[in-house]
Amino acid sequence: MVRLFCLLAVLAACGSERTPVTTKVTTLGYSHPPAIVVIARGQPELVAPWVASLRASTAAKVVAEIPREESSSSIYTELDELCKAALEAANGEPLEEIVVISTLERKEPFMQCDTKSCFTQSYVSMTVFLDTTVTAIRASSCKVLRSNVMLTSTGHSVPKDNRASVDLAEGEEHDAVEARTTALVDMQRFAEKASWKVFPTDSSIQIVEGNRILIAGPLKLGEYFLKVPSDAALKPGVRVVSHTNNSSTLEVDDEIKPEPGDELHGISDMLTVAGYTMISGGTATANGTKHGIGGMALAARWSWDHFPGMFELQFGGDLVPGIDSRHLFIGTAAGLRWPYWISPVAFVELGVGGVYQGDHGARAVAGHAGVGVGLEVRRSRWFAFADARLRAFALGDWTDSEEHPLEVTYPDSTWQTATGQLGLGFHY
């Protein structure tokens, strides 16, 4: 036990880390219809309505169109090939996006149980699905910007009553054609009315001058992060340095190149993970009498600048000299923290550990539950915690090191403690 306390003392004031919690603020968009190359990927009669609809819209400027028969390989494995073909088709014209329109066909027979038994099924009709997906690729980096399912069009053949299961082979082809025709008509009707609002226009980029970018829409002054759709990481180095009612000016680091489709994420909170040593003292009620108790613990506490929550993890030990006992435990706590300069906290805790008595290896498993209130103070790089805790302990049977039952001087199976705890740490 003495060695444990020495270790905890060495690890005192472990310090803390502060991590920004971010949320998406806006998506950078185009201030004009972007120049695109359209790759029609699939059977011509399936993709042609979508290509015609996109050409007729004002959402984008179609520089070139590349027909491409259906392929079983993934767009993601063909990126380099698709981008090379698109740049060649653009023939030197400025290009911002490569739009891949894919329509895949799948069909499913509709089966139902016959009138006598569900062990035998009868083929009734066919359903055909036409799945249209639009995938946008950034021309400058050949990375996928977004992928949207535009429509899943469904067509059914007319159900046939009393058709035997042996008719499946001869009826499937006719019904598939009927169902496909229905699905195709439905898809064409939808494609004609498609709005093509798939190109980002919010916070559109208006002017780029060196490291300064003017975008539409007012944003709060301060630091932001850039998220590129093809990368999960957030990149620091974006600042809003001025704004009006209609626009904001970004200042970016040299390695940051924002483009339409990128997201700006702002800091909404700060998560503090504090590691520190706590010392405690108080009383333990056991065997019908009160005894002094003292201890130390290593603790880690998670809290936020704005979110009113707190979580804590402790590993430590207590000495109860009056009943010749030692207690080692690991515990967790969760509760509320009101985020002020001096922050009140209230929490509940649970823990498990072991109690040792005397010098002959007597031990028992111990679990505890408790409640506590306290204060957290932060100033400059330093912070301190002070709280009061009430705990109730339940002890198992006393045994020796080989799990044999053992009689002890103080066999009480329940304890109650009232302790005060102090913790001290600092920010890195």
Predicted local distance difference test score (pLDDT) of residue 163: 53
Closest C-alpha to 38, from 105, 137, 131: 137
Q: Which of 162, 193, 224 is the last residue of a domain?
A: 193
Using pLDDT thresholds of 50, 70 and 90, give the confidence band for residue 162.
low
Overall number of domains in the chain: 3
Do residues 154 and 185 touch, judged by C-beta distance below 8 A? no
Using pLDDT thresholds of 50, 70 and 90, give the confidence band for residue 166.
very low
The residue segments making up the domain with residue 182 are: 35-108+129-154+172-193
182's torsion region: left (phi>0), alpha (psi -120 to 50) or beta? alpha
The answer as to whether 340 is a domain residue is yes
Which of 7-16, 68-77, 183-192 is the least confident region?
7-16
Predicted local distance difference test score (pLDDT) of residue 126: 86
The answer as to whether 96 is a domain residue is yes
Do residues 269 and 304 touch, judged by C-beta distance below 8 A? yes
pLDDT in tens, 22-58: 999 999 999 999 999 999 988 999 999 999 999 999 9
273's torsion region: left (phi>0), alpha (psi -120 to 50) or beta? beta
Domain co-membership, 301 together with 364: yes
Higher pLDDT, 401 or 348: 348
Q: For residue 291, what is the domain's CATH number? A: 2.40.160.20
Q: Which of 261, 280, 295 is the last residue of a domain?
A: 261
Predicted local distance difference test score (pLDDT) of residue 222: 93
Domain co-membership, 422 together with 364: yes
Using pLDDT thresholds of 50, 70 and 90, give the confidence band for residue 5.
very low
The answer as to whether 164 is a domain residue is no
Domain co-membership, 189 together with 255: no
The length of the chain is 428
Which of 8-17, 205-214, 360-369 is the least confident region?
8-17
Q: For residue 43, what is the domain's CATH number? A: 3.40.50
- The single residue listed with the structure tokens 């056991």 is 286
Q: Exposed/middle/buried for 403, CB within 10 Å: 0-12, 13-18, 19+?
A: exposed
pLDDT in tens, 60-82: 999 999 988 765 567 777 899 99
Do residues 174 and 123 touch, judged by C-beta distance below 8 A? no
Q: What tokens appear for 215 in the block?
A: 């975008």
Query: Is the full-model pTM beyond 0.75?
Result: no
The answer as to whether 124 is a domain residue is no
pLDDT in tens, 325-343: 999 999 999 999 998 889 9
Which ranges in 208-290 belong to alpha helices (H)?
Answer: none
The answer as to whether 120 is a domain residue is no
Which of 80-89, 172-181, 242-251 is the least confident region?
172-181
Average pLDDT over residues 227-249: 93
pLDDT in tens, 370-387: 999 999 988 767 788 899
Higher pLDDT, 381 or 146: 146
Closest C-alpha to 128, from 162, 164, 172: 172
H or E element at residue 7: helix 2-10
- Each as own residue / partner, the long-range contacts of residues 158-161 (CB below 8 Å, 24 or more positions apart, any chain) are 158/125, 159/110, 159/124, 159/125, 160/124, 160/125, 161/124
